[in-house]
Structure 1
Amino acid sequence: MPEIRCASLLMLLVAGTAQAAEPGLVGKIEQAARAQLARQAEASALAEPEFTITVVNPRAAPACRQPVSVEPVDTRSAARMRFAVQCRDTPGWRYEYIVRAKVSAKVAVTAGPVAAGQLLSDDDLVIERRDISSLSDTIGVAAAVGQASRRSLRAGEVLRQSQLAAPILVKRGEPVVMLARVDAIEVSTAGEALDSGAQGSVVRVRNVANGRVVRMRVTAAGTVEPVEVALTR
């Protein structure tokens, strides 16, 4: 009888250990997923991100004599991520797990209708917490203000970077100032833009004084600076 009782207690202990191991593994996967989402949120400058994470149908894994590693395999969509869990024993094992996450953050939302080409101001936008699990390019108010909408937007629409474009600062056929700086010396001359361009874009400009066409970089409204050649009068 004592032997039977000891064997029964041992079986219960082993069973309890196996059951306890599963939540530990799931916890490690959830921890890795949360860390990955936090990195992505930081890279996207999300404001106050929050995550709800679920490991889908987690399978039981064999015992491993050393700590298992959890690595991201595919995290492009928060709604369906894949993580690999690996045991480096000999022989070892490697299983993949599906993780679904809901991501919310405070993002820029249109306060009212926005027309195509409209330059956004603070009055056009509000900050709201929204579910952005299926969105990858949301934007904050500070980054959106001053940009132009590529298309008309409805009121209450979550603003995305792909919906915006930098405003055109130089327009084709209009006069521009061709500006060059060398140390403390600044030289400027009149030019004519042959292309339209936003901040930082490269356009062709005709020097009014000598007719030469050069490539210039747009630095401000109506102002360009040389890209490849020095500017001369």
Structure 2
Amino acid sequence: MSSCNESIDFAEEKTPPDNAPITGTVAGKINHNELEMTDKGSCTFDRFPWSVAKFKELQLQVATEPQGAVTMVLIAMEIFRKYPVIGEKCLYLTTTENEHDPNNLGRMSKDRIMYRLNELLRGNDNYYTRPYQVAAYLKGAHQQNGYIPQKPYTVEVEIMNFSYEYNSKMDAKYIQYYVLTGGKDSGKDIIRVIKPWDSKYFLVDNFPGLYSQVKELPGSKTWNSNMFIE
């Protein structure tokens, strides 16, 4: 694994045209103010964006609800895998300042997040790298089908039995829930989100489960690195 003292700067990349319409919707209910153990929800989107402009367009449609926040982080991770400069910008847009580099405006925390994401999504270590990491959180994708998700793409969440905690600086409550996955034996990972007083959107505040490895692809399966480019 890489040393955190190494640079993870990338050259600006060329991306495919990204002019097609993009649509996202949310379903279900996650209470914004207090824990309700029956709460669950989902977020569905028709394609992955490959530009900051289209990312923002989708964020506007779904991130006013908690389940939209984790969906946007997963999308940003996939953009980062293909186009790291744009992907990091998108990650920055959908996370709180706790995940950002306090000394470098517009950049994510290197030691806490970016080195792990770079190794996991873009690394050269075949044992460690998981280019299909994001796919494993989409409905229908699991190890035995080669992490091929259903379309349109859907992220599902269920509330966690953990009381909402108030953050005075952001003047809002943290919400913790599970995001479902077919890539881990537990079938889920913990996510924490919050809607700061000065934000239009719910933002992800903590998501280490998303950058811990999903199960390895079976030897009989191959991964199409361009699966989500349509």
Which structure carries more relative contact order (alpha carbon 8 Å, separation 6+)?
Answer: 2
Instruction: Say which structure is richer in helix.
Output: 2
TM above 0.5, yes or no, is no
TM-score by length of 2: 0.17
Say which one has the larger Rg: 1
Instruction: Say which structure is richer in strand.
Output: 1
TM-score by length of 1: 0.17
